[in-house]
Structure 1
């Protein structure tokens, strides 16, 4: 499972870069310390993906820690991207793949 999760993390990073959403500088420590789900009050969803989700899962993989199995990131992604002009389908698919790799369950895609 860890190799598949690693592949999915790389896919998300690749799509964030392709959309020019990958940032060199991290948000402030205060922004990252948000207690809201997905840091909705302090980060954009792409920032949350890069600076929270990807980093935490990578740290867990590196440490050999058990990975979460109850995940559902895809619905938040599709909702967050609805009003954007960019074509986010490849990023949404990468996120759905991560959900599936972690949960072992099929993600129902939006039409």
Structure 2
């Protein structure tokens, strides 16, 4: 298996772990209507933390498991910096992981 794929998979686990560590992991999923949002990052129906947990992580896992084409670019850090502007210390590790994810995707 491609080392880049393994690195991305490892990174997704680190992102999941950091969401748990910060207490930003929900046990109950958002409604089907919230999950069906077509707005970028589902900002109209859920928080960024929820989007990471319920949309981003599962979609990336599916892409990796099915061997689908990876996105050619990711601007997820820009969104994270906007969302966590009022929590710079608490979000530092998550933002670092998302920055590394952006780099892995654009490699």
Alignment TM-score, normalising by the size of structure 2: 0.92
1:37 and 2:40 are equivalent in the alignment: yes
Q: Which residue of 1 aligns with 2:27?
A: 24
Q: Which residue of 1 aligns with 2:82?
A: 79
1:35 CA displacement: 1.2
More helix by share: 2
Partner SS for 1:26: coil
Q: For structure 1, list consecutive stretches of 5 or more residues without a partner in the other structure.
A: 105-111
2-structure distance, mates of 1:83, 1:100: 24
Query: Any runs of at least 4 consecutive aligned residues in structure 1 with deviations exceeding 4 A, and if so which?
Result: none
From 57, 69, 72, the equivalent of 1:69 is 72
Q: Which residue of 2 aligns with 1:2?
A: 5
Aligned residues: 104
2-structure distance, mates of 1:34, 1:23: 18
RMSD: 1.2
Partner SS for 1:54: helix
Q: For structure 2, list consecutive stretches of 5 or more residues without a partner in the other structure.
A: none
Alignment TM-score, normalising by the size of structure 1: 0.89
1:85 CA displacement: 7.4
8 Å Cα contact 1:19/1:86 also seen in 2: no
